[in-house]
Structure 1
Amino acid sequence: MLIYMIMIMIYMFIIGNMIFVSKSKHLLITLMSLEFIVLSMYFLMMFYLMMIMFNMYMLMIFLVLTVCEGALGLSILVSMIRTHGNDYFQSFNLI
């Protein structure tokens, strides 16, 4: 049963990476795929730490960094929408 759950989490990670690579038109979809990848990594770390009977403090640090990453991504999204009016990467000039 545990091996099936780990395989599902690995499948989630692969699907999240495929969405991140293929759907780069909108910033919001990219941020959501990154959060999906982080969620699958969290579950994989949780299962691994439970299997080796280790402390779960690392998961708390991981969650804090994940929240910081999400807040930073949302602030970039809001500032991009305020300056350019949308979240398309084509209308955003990097030069």
Structure 2
Amino acid sequence: MFSIIMFFSGLLSFCLKRKHLLLMLLSLEFIILSLYFNMFIYLSFFNYEFYFSMIFLTMSVCEGGLGLSILVSMIRTHGNDYFQTFSVLW
């Protein structure tokens, strides 16, 4: 029950803070953390092996690193992380 509340609060914060890229990345990491917590509880409930959870953590770390690199490149080119100043037509 707690992980479901974590997931939906992450989705709510993702939808409400859609103007800043950094806040969107933080809420995505919170959603990933809640999914990992849910998967860990599910795997421990059925006494399965936790190998898939380590693969999931590896992929989520790669996703976080990619998001931070996009954030840094966006701040270097545009000066801030607002989506309103970022134009796709340029």
Which TM class, normalised by the smaller chain length? over 0.9
Q: After TM superposition, which residue ranges in structure 1, 4 or more long, deviate above 6 angstroms?
A: none
Q: CA deviation at 1:19?
A: 0.8
* Corresponding residue number in structure 2 for 1:70: 64
Which residues of 2 match residues 1-95 of structure 1 at below 5 A? Answer: 7-95=1-89
Q: Which runs of 5+ in 1 are unaligned?
A: 1-6
Q: Which runs of 5+ in 2 are unaligned?
A: none
User: How many residue pairs get matched?
Assistant: 89
| TM-score (norm. length: structure 1) | 0.92
What RMSD, in angstroms, separates the aligned Cα atoms of the two structures? 0.5
Amino acid across the alignment from 2:68: L
SS of the residue corresponding to residue 88 of structure 2 reads coil
Q: In the aligned structure 2, how far is the partner of 1:94 from the partner of 1:11?
A: 35
Q: In the aligned structure 2, how far is the partner of 1:33 from the partner of 1:64?
A: 18
What are the superposed Cα offsets for residues 22-43 of structure 1, whole Å, 9 maximum, x if unpaired? 2101000000000000000000
Q: CA deviation at 1:71?
A: 0.2
